[in-house]
Amino acid sequence: MSSETTITWQDFEKVHLRAGTIVRAEPFPEARRPAYKVWVRFGEDDVRKSSAQITERYAPEELVGTRVICVTNFPPKQIGPIRSEVLICGFEDDAGAIVLARPDGEVPDGARLK
């Protein structure tokens, strides 16, 4: 039996899940747990930073151009020397590594999940 909490449609509508494209990624040696600094574009003039613990499955150089799904309306969070502005979504695999959640098909940067 699942331990998930039931939410209303109004609760779901409060979460802004948007498609974006990673435009830059680099190691984040100051992080307590292995992570990258990642910049995601959600529109022409809308690029936001994040810290992503995705080092087990991805190299920084292969992330550029990757489409991802992010939560864009959490408050910013200070993580070491950077201010994380979005949460990049992913799933844990059997080994505990994060697999990125990605749109299946072409949608514009900033498109909201419905």
Q: What is the pTM of this model?
A: 0.93
Question: What tokens were used for 47?
Answer: 């690029």
Instruction: Report the pLDDT averaged over residues 72-77.
Output: 97
Structural domains in the chain, sorted by start: 16-112 (2.40.50.140)
| pLDDT tens readout for residues 44-65 | 999 999 999 999 999 999 999 9
From residue 57, give the alpha-carbon distance in Å to each of 2, 15, 62, 68, 74: 28, 27, 10, 15, 25
Instruction: Tell how far CA 27 is from the center of its chain.
Output: 16
Flag whether pLDDT at 1 surpasses 80: no
Q: What gap in Å lies between CA 24 and CA 66, rounded to an integer?
A: 10
| pLDDT tens readout for residues 17-36 | 999 999 999 999 999 999 99
